[in-house]
Amino acid sequence: MFVTDSTIASSLLPRPCRHQALLTLPAQETHVSAARHFTADLLECWSVPENERDSAVLIVDELTANAARYGHECMTLLLALDRHTLHIVVSDSGTALEHPHDAVAPDEHGRGTGIVEYLAQSTEVHQTPGGREVRACLQCPAA
């Protein structure tokens, strides 16, 4: 695990951020709760308001659960807070899949990506040389 408050920009972010933290875990469902608790504790330390913190924890839960399910080796969580935006980036060694929302009955699978899209101001999925990367941005009042 690597945690930093450095203003050096991560290669995953478009610009330097005031706070950054990186957590790498095995891509296994048993580690999703660790990512969730890490996020809650860290955002409290960064003085992120409770409503936004709760939304971020839910986003992290959904994205890391997907990474644990579809990734193969490791999953990495990057949290970065700039003035008014919390950047959440989850990467894993899986492949980016496009699932039409209507292709599967809603009660057969979770609604994770729909929840993330509802809570976040923007979401992106990218295929990288190492796997899949999912980004979500959440607006936060100045912390």
Residue numbers of the domain that contains 65: 2-7+16-139
What per-residue confidence (pLDDT) applies to 140?
A: 87
Phi-psi region of 54 (alpha: psi -120 to 50; beta: other; left: phi over 0): alpha
Closest CA to 18 of 76, 86, 77: 86
On the 0-12 / 13-18 / 19+ scale of CB atoms within 10 A, 64 is buried
pLDDT band at 99 (very low <50, low <70, confident <90, very high): low
pLDDT digits (tens, 9 = 90+) for 13-57: 556 678 999 999 999 999 999 999 999 999 999 999 999 999 999
Domain count across the chain: 1
- Indicate which CATH number applies to the domain containing 124: 3.30.565.10
Tell me the HSE value of 31 on the side-chain side, using a 13 A CA sphere. Answer: 18
